[in-house]
A and B are shown apart, each in its own frame.
Chain A
């Protein structure tokens, strides 16, 4: 069983880096879907039904922060953890994303597999607890 993840970035190279580093972090086994901007991500949210989203900030059409606000205002998807993965590092932006818009974690580019482990372990564990017992996550977390 795999964790469905949506990776949103207008840079194909950056999407690959995010997916590659997540694999190296070994937090879970992922099944990735890619989106090129916030608008594309909203569509893929319906079709791919991701369990977690990794989202850039500066993108054409619909930015990452607008995407987060959109998702959080919809009762159908407001439970999906959203991780901002962005080069925006200012405190104001971080607070905008996490405190005001409702992103669950904030990762600044460039990042390492260790940083992903540090910031995502709790979120991934939380997702595991939502899954039915005996599945991939209960094995991952040491359950029977």
Chain B
């Protein structure tokens, strides 16, 4: 579980705020609640990744991973028409999705007295995308499923003790520990 002490060193309530924001944002855009998946962490994939960083009480980054097929279907739901996966509009769309989640989570975090400001989103597109975080960063992963396909988020934040000790993935939940 994500609440076990060894796996969740972020402030209490933080991960729930992020997950709730993802669910409520996509529920609004695609018309259904994404289901949380307890599967293993993200492997390398073909698709799009939106990244947005936050500064404030504690700096952190949100990564939104959309496999190609999911990204194409979400884009239609969000914008109302099909778009070229390789085009600039797809980059714009994924950036905007990350941006909307970020705005929602920023407001929710105020409720747990965590005040942050969001930056500008950036987007990666490609084949065999994988996330390589430095040892000084800890993170958690959450997969989701929808009728339009799966997607995931990863939240990365500097280790609170500032250590750069190499960690491993918890086999139970996918957190780096």
Q: Which residues of A contact B (CB under 8 A)?
A: 11-14, 16-17, 20, 58, 60, 86-92, 108-110
Contact = CB atoms under 8 A, between A and B. Distances in A.
Contact of B79 (A13, A87, A90, A108): A13
B139 interface: no
A11 B92 contact: yes
Contacts of B118: 58, 88
A90 B120 CA distance: 17
Contacts, number: 54
Nearest to B110: A90
B169 interface: no
Given A87-B104, A88-B106, A89-B106, 5 more contacts: A13-B79, A14-B92, A20-B80, A90-B110, A91-B110
Contact of A13 (B28, B96, B107, B119): B96
Interface string B79-108: 110000000110011011001101110110
B89 A12 contact: yes
Contacts of B78: 13, 17, 110
B92 A17 contact: no
Given A89-B106, A90-B106, A12 B29 contact: no
Contacts of B80: 17, 20
A91 B99 CA distance: 17
A92 B25 CA distance: 20
Contact of A87 (B88, B102, B119): B102
A89 B103 contact: yes
B18 to A, nearest CB: 14
Interface centre among B28, B78, B96 (most CB of A within 10 A): B96
Contacts of A16: 79
Nearest to B108: A89
Task: List 5 A-B pairs, minimum CB-CB distance, nearest first.
Answer: A87-B103, A89-B107, A13-B92, A90-B107, A87-B100
A110 B103 contact: no
A110 B79 contact: no
A17 B79 contact: yes
Interface centre among B29, B95, B104 (most CB of A within 10 A): B104
Contact of B100 (A12, A60, A91, A109): A109
Contacts of B96: 11, 13-14, 87, 109
